[in-house]
Chain A
Amino acid sequence: MDITVTVLDRKGVRHPLQAPTDMNMNMMELCRSYELPVEGTCGGMALCASCHLYVLSDHELPAPSDDELNMLDSAFFVQDNSRLGCQIKIVPELEGLEVELAPVGLVT
């Protein structure tokens, strides 16, 4: 079964994406598979924060692990709704999820 999630990129463009729920995918992998600008350098081990995103919709996500919190603690541009895309599993409950890619690079 596929769900639809929406990713707002760093230029403000909205990308509605079809996401399979039966392939053990996460949001980082989904963004990469649609060639959105998400590096996912560490391969999904909550180790690099290059998939940092903001959750815009009010979906209830599983609480972040210690590893994820540790990584978010050393990332930049962190907000209360910050998460690592690699730690968000795509499951049917996320139908309609909206996220925004966090900035990379310098403060302007």
Chain B
Amino acid sequence: MSSSTHDSNVLLPTATPPPSDATDAGQIDTDILIIGAGPVGLFAVFEAGLLKMRCHLVDVLPQVGGQLSEIYPKKPIYDIPGYPSVLAGDLVQNLMKQIEPFHPGFTLGERAEKLERLDDGRWQLSTERGSVLRAPVVFIAGGLGCFEPRKPPLANIERFEDRGVEYFVRNPELYRNKRVVIAGGGDSALDWSIFLADVADELTLVHRRTDFRGAPDSVEKVLELANAGRIKLITNAQVVGLHGTSVLQGVQIAQDNADAIDLDIDHFVPLFGLTPKLGPIAEWGLQIDKGAIEVNTFDYSTNVPGIFAVGDINTYPGKLKLILCGFHEATLACQSAFEFVFPGQKRSFKYTTVTGIEGISV
């Protein structure tokens, strides 16, 4: 795949997510399991570390920093106390340095899928790639949520998912000698059209407009392939219908200035980027209001004991989605987390100016 020229290249699916540090399917035990490795999740490691609690972070993105790394690494942030201005990417690097003494673990490029309570009261989190992580406390620091593919608004599309409709190209061989329709106009649609033109029997690219917003060299290549008859390009058009019995057999394509076309095909791959969704977190029995997790502002606990929600993903009266508020929330949540990690033990509050930072060895 060619690299994207877009600032928002987070929106483009990648074919092969990078491996995490937990691919051996080994089980990871820790004190606080943090879902989301954005700024708030990272800072939680620091505050937990001061209380001798170990942390492990899970994030669907392949690197730490959340939105700051993925969406606006070069944008200055002006409301971090003590920094008149700091680039989002630099803030992430500083946070990583700040939490280094506490040796957090990371499972990156994996989506937190299922959360269950074990008989011993701890939580067990499984990712969609099979990693299993256990801890007495879970912090949800999921920001906007997971980035999921944007699905075309077709009534029966879910019926054909993995039966001819795929939102990512995971394995190009799936399309060998098949009839494939790709929809979209961005880098992902262009790059995969170019790649699959050699693999598929028939490759059709459907785009709503005549011009493409992808990288100019990809656009040029697609037009060349279209001229050579290796990509069938249908512009000013949209896929408006899917049909098939048990698997996808055809699509209907509506055109702005011509009659609709019915095409017999084997695969439809809509590539319209990713959009933030709460994702599997919505299924965990937490109280949700308008896509955010309701918390008690005493300690940012959710309605489920042992699960806390901090940062942009939570909501409460007066909530502001600010990094600095997330730092505060994570700090207070750690105080209550201590009761779960070290039941019955006394917690002492110390200033770092007095005691410095005592790291945690692993």
Contacts and interface: CB of A to CB of B under 8 A. Distances in A.
The answer on A and B forming one complex is yes
A69 B7 CA distance: 12
A31 to B, nearest CB: 13
A74 B154 contact: no
B276 interface: yes
Given A47-B71, A73-B186, A67 B155 contact: no
A70 B208 CA distance: 13
Contacts of A5: none
A106 B291 contact: no
A45 B71 contact: yes
Given A70-B6, A107-B155, A45 B275 contact: no
Contact of B8 (A50, A67, A76, A105): A67
Nearest to B321: A43
Contacts of A74: 11, 150, 184-186, 272-273
Interface string B176-215: 0000000011100000000000000000000011000100
B213 A49 contact: no
B77 to A, nearest CB: 13
B7 A67 contact: yes
Given A47-B71, A76-B152, A76-B153, A70 B186 contact: yes
A84 B56 CA distance: 37
B154 A107 contact: yes
Contacts of A50: 275
Contacts of B282: none
A64 B321 CA distance: 25
A39 interface: yes
A69 B213 contact: yes
Contacts of A81: none
Contacts of A66: 7
B168 interface: no
Contacts of A47: 8, 11, 71, 276
Contacts of A67: 7-8
B225 interface: no
B144 interface: yes
Interface residues of A, number: 25
B242 to A, nearest CB: 11
Contact of B144 (A42, A70, A76, A106): A42
Given A41-B291, A107-B153, A73 B185 contact: yes
Nearest to B72: A45
Contact of A70 (B8, B290, B312): B8
Contact of B213 (A41, A73, A103, A105): A73
Contacts of B208: 73, 78
B240 interface: yes
A106 B213 contact: no
Nearest to A69: B213
Given A70-B213, A106-B154, A48 B72 contact: no
Interface string A36-61: 00010111010111100000000000
Contacts of A107: 153-155, 240
A43 B209 CA distance: 27
Contacts of B312: 43
A75 B144 CA distance: 18
27 contacts: A41-B275, A41-B291, A42-B144, A43-B312, A45-B71, A47-B8, A48-B275, A48-B276, A66-B7, A70-B6, A70-B8, A70-B11, A71-B8, A73-B185, A73-B209, A73-B213, A74-B184, A74-B185, A74-B186, A74-B273, A75-B272, A76-B152, A105-B153, A106-B154, A106-B155, A107-B155, A107-B240
The 5 tightest CB contacts between A and B, nearest first, are: A74-B273, A74-B272, A106-B153, A73-B213, A106-B155
Given A42-B144, A74-B273, 18 more contacts: A39-B290, A41-B145, A43-B321, A47-B71, A50-B275, A66-B7, A70-B11, A73-B208, A73-B209, A74-B11, A74-B150, A74-B184, A74-B186, A76-B153, A76-B272, A106-B154, A107-B155, A108-B155
